[in-house]
Amino acid sequence: MREEENVRLTRTGPGTPAGAWMRRYWQPVALSEELDGVRPLVAPKVLGQDLVLFRDGDGELGLVDRGCPHRGADLALGRLEDGGLRCCFHGWLFGRDGTCLDTPAEPAGGNLAARVRLGSYPVREINGVIWGYLGPGEPPQLPALDCFEAPAGHTFAWKGLLECNWLQALEVGIDPAHASYLHRFFQDEDPSESYGRQFRAASRGTDLPMTKILREYGRPDIDAVRTPYGIRITALRTLDGTDTEGRPMDGSRTHVRVTHQVFPHGFHIPLDADTAITQWHVPIDDASCYWYAQFTSVGGPVDRAEMRRQRVDAVTLPDYRPRFGRSNGYGYDPVEQLATTYTGLGTDINVHDQWAVEGQGAIQDRTREHLGRSDKAIVMYRRMLGEAITAVERGEDPPLVLPAERAAGLRGPVTLDGIGPTEGWAEHWTAVTAKQRAESGWAQAAGTDG
């Protein structure tokens, strides 16, 4: 990649081409739980912009610029009172829509307040995530994807800080080959449902442990196709080695994993047979980002408190900063690397991914990389990203910024991780997942798009 292209694809601050593209989409700006305290206000930085998110006296959300329009004081310490957000410097009061409601130090009867406005942005809350729209004009309608349509009880949301550019954070999630190496475990015992261990559980439709499949089939057959929402990625591992008893397998069964890239900066992957993770990668600035994960179950309701309990000890609040990171060597243990895991970085695969993407540098220098066949989806995404940025420069709509009726028709998408017949695998799994969605009680038919 040429240096100019790497700059063009990765920089998202105000006034940049990729920034103009990304601002055409709703962006996750906070988890709902971040506003649970005595003072429902946080000051997120999103795409290089300093913002304040708060609930006003009516419990309604406001998303506004952080600098006070009087003389620029920091509204992150503002007082939540009198139905709005009041600046501590001279007491100016702002409503959630940015109107100035009071300028108490000014002479009574003046009209300064009517001429002042604090920048404000559309905001909405869905299934534990608060979204803001920082772009021009009316915000687009969200597509009817599972993560937005699922009943709240079937969802859980979480986030984490990554100290690197958003694009490399996304790219690890559309790279099906790395799981055979980065997430390799040398033993198969102790398959567990617990956090960060989804690659340790037995794969759907078999008693073959996923650890064994990933370890022994390190050259998946990867395909990637463009879809209306992004990219559908298929990784096939035909089972022609030996089973857990050492008996030869004849290649009549294949492990199939179907994942997706979802525009602008998300991926959509299976956690287990019932649950998918839709994970977005929103820039804080060009050298750091947050991932926001929406867990969505097409089976029964999820145990949110338990899912949170499994994750909260891995981070420090209020930043959702992983406890293991660059500052402590990601917990690397050379003895573990010899005997237990490929990386020596423990069993939490989130730490593995974090090490991989942060190690690429704050913004990966893509002029020095050498891409292979296994990087097919990454190459496809970068091409689509470049096209999307160009489309916005031309005044056109980028992918997934859709007319309302098309947005309402986008379903799913369906993810998959399981073992089934090699012959006719696509028809087999289409039937299995269609039945599962029909029985879910809420998930709609996937339709041709998903």
The footprint of ligand FES (CB under 6 A) covers: 68, 70-71, 73, 87, 89-90, 92
How many residues bind Fe ion (CB under 5 A)? The answer is: 1
CA pair distance 173, 292, nearest whole angstrom: 13
Q: Which of residues 297-326 bind Fe ion (CB under 5 A)?
A: none
- 73 contact choice in Fe ion, ligand FES, none (CB below 5 to 8 Å, kind-dependent): ligand FES
Smallest distance from ligand FES to CB 69, Å: 8
Residue 376, token pair as written in the block: 């097919």
CA pair distance 360, 169, nearest whole angstrom: 10
Contact region with Fe ion (CB under 5 A), list: 2-10, 112-120, 346-354, 366-374: 346-354
- 92 contact choice in Fe ion, ligand FES, none (CB below 5 to 8 Å, kind-dependent): ligand FES
The amino acid sitting at 345 is: L
Smallest distance from Fe ion to CB 352, Å: 6
CA pair distance 133, 268, nearest whole angstrom: 21
Q: What three-state secondary structure class fits 386?
A: helix
Smallest distance from Fe ion to CB 310, Å: 18
State which residue, 100 or 345, has the beta carbon closest to ligand FES: 100
Ramachandran sector of residue 97 (left: φ over 0; alpha: ψ -120 to 50; beta: rest): alpha
State which residue, 8 or 90, has the beta carbon closest to ligand FES: 90
Contact region with Fe ion (CB under 5 A), list: 21-29, 81-89, 296-304, 349-357: 349-357
Should residue 353 be labelled a site residue for Fe ion when binding is judged by CB under 5 A?
yes
Contact region with Fe ion (CB under 5 A), list: 100-108, 128-136, 276-284, 347-355: 347-355
Q: What three-state secondary structure class fits 226?
A: strand
Residue 59, token pair as written in the block: 């419990």
Q: What three-state secondary structure class fits 220?
A: coil
State which residue, 70 or 281, has the beta carbon closest to ligand FES: 70
- 318 upstream amide cis, omega within 30 of 0: yes
State which residue, 55 or 90, has the beta carbon closest to ligand FES: 90
State which residue, 91 or 344, has the beta carbon closest to ligand FES: 91
Smallest distance from ligand FES to CB 53, Å: 18
Count CB atoms within 10 A of the CB of residue 329: 12
CA pair distance 218, 189, nearest whole angstrom: 20
Any idea of the CA torsion for 76, 82, 83, 88, to the nearest 10 degrees? -10
State which residue, 88 or 434, has the beta carbon closest to ligand FES: 88
CB neighbour list of residue 282: distance below 8 Å, 6 or more residues apart: 27, 28, 29, 46, 47, 166, 265, 289, 290, 292
State which residue, 93 or 380, has the beta carbon closest to ligand FES: 93
Contact region with Fe ion (CB under 5 A), list: 94-102, 202-210, 232-240, 345-353: 345-353
Smallest distance from ligand FES to CB 79, Å: 11
- 24 contact choice in ligand FES, Fe ion, none (CB below 5 to 8 Å, kind-dependent): none
Smallest distance from ligand FES to CB 401, Å: 35
State which residue, 92 or 324, has the beta carbon closest to ligand FES: 92
- 353 contact choice in Fe ion, ligand FES, none (CB below 5 to 8 Å, kind-dependent): Fe ion
Question: For residue 8, what are the CA distances in angstroms to 18, 167, 366, 388, 392?
Answer: 6, 11, 12, 12, 13
Smallest distance from ligand FES to CB 71, Å: 4
- 39 contact choice in ligand FES, Fe ion, none (CB below 5 to 8 Å, kind-dependent): none
CA pair distance 161, 297, nearest whole angstrom: 24
CA pair distance 66, 64, nearest whole angstrom: 6
Smallest distance from ligand FES to CB 88, Å: 7
State which residue, 286 or 353, has the beta carbon closest to Fe ion: 353
Burial 185-220 (b: 16+ CB within 10 A, else e): beebeeeeeebbbbbbbbbbbbebbbbbbbbebeeb
Residues interacting with Fe ion, by CB under 5 A?
A: 353
